[in-house]
Amino acid sequence: MNSRTILVVEDNLTSQYILKQLLAKFGYRAQIASSAEEALASAAYTRYDAVLMDLMLPGMDGIECAKRMREMDKHKDVYTPIIALTAMMDQREACIKAGMDDYLNKPYDIKDLRKMLLRWVFDPFHPNLNVLKEQLS
Ligand SMILES: [Mg+2]
């Protein structure tokens, strides 16, 4: 069990519930934000190890939210990976342009979500050696 905390920006209650269960199963803590505005308010005061970002949100969308998070990062000495999690197709380029790091389409394979988090969330107590090897090669 590690104590890495993932901010889940997701407005759909069922998706929130599923992600919460999955992240707990993977050993992460999940903090849920139901809107971009809520996510930005949380990110201003809390350091998260990664953000899972839905794109279609009420009010501000996930792309704009990611852009603003990157603006906020400029004033911090940490970098928070942002991973888009969306049912929308063909948004990869827009996500990367907005400063997001990776992209996973819904419905996603649980294994792919697990791999994605291992790739982006570094856990010094349980380092994933395969990912480290990949990064060093
Ligand atoms: Mg949504």
DSSP annotation of 124 = T
Rounded distance from Cα 26 to ligand 1 centre (Å): 23
Rounded distance from Cα 20 to ligand 1 centre (Å): 15
Residues with CB under 5 A from ligand 1 (ion): 11, 54, 56
What value does the mean pLDDT take over residues 90-99? 95
Rounded distance from Cα 137 to ligand 1 centre (Å): 37
Tell me the one-letter amino acid at 94: A
* DSSP calls for 72-91: HHTTSS----EEEEES-SS-
Rounded distance from Cα 127 to ligand 1 centre (Å): 32
Confidence of residue 135 (pLDDT cuts 50, 70, 90): low
Q: Is the pLDDT of residue 2 over 70?
A: no
Per-residue pLDDT tens over the stretch 16-75 = 999 999 999 998 999 999 999 999 999 999 999 999 999 999 999 999 999 999 999 888
Q: Who has greater pLDDT, 71 or 124?
A: 71
pLDDT for the residue 75? 83
Contact 71, 100 (CB under 8 A): no
pLDDT for the residue 9? 98
pLDDT for the residue 78? 83
**What Rg value do the Cα atoms of the chain yield, rounded?**
14
pLDDT for the residue 74? 86
Rounded distance from Cα 64 to ligand 1 centre (Å): 14
Contact 48, 79 (CB under 8 A): no
pLDDT for the residue 1? 47
- Across the chain, mean pLDDT equals 90
Rounded distance from Cα 57 to ligand 1 centre (Å): 5
Rounded distance from Cα 58 to ligand 1 centre (Å): 7
Contact 11, 57 (CB under 8 A): yes
Q: How many CB atoms lie within 10 A of CB 46?
A: 10
* DSSP calls for 19-49: HHHHHHHHT-EEEEESSHHHHHHHHHH---S
Domains and CATH numbers, the chain: 5-136 (3.40.50.2300)
pLDDT for the residue 126? 59
Q: Is the pLDDT of residue 108 over 50?
A: yes
Rounded distance from Cα 7 to ligand 1 centre (Å): 15
- The contacts found for 113-120 with CB under 8 angstroms, 24 or more apart, are 113/22, 113/85, 114/26, 116/83, 117/6, 117/23, 117/26, 117/28, 117/50, 117/83, 120/50, 120/81, 120/83
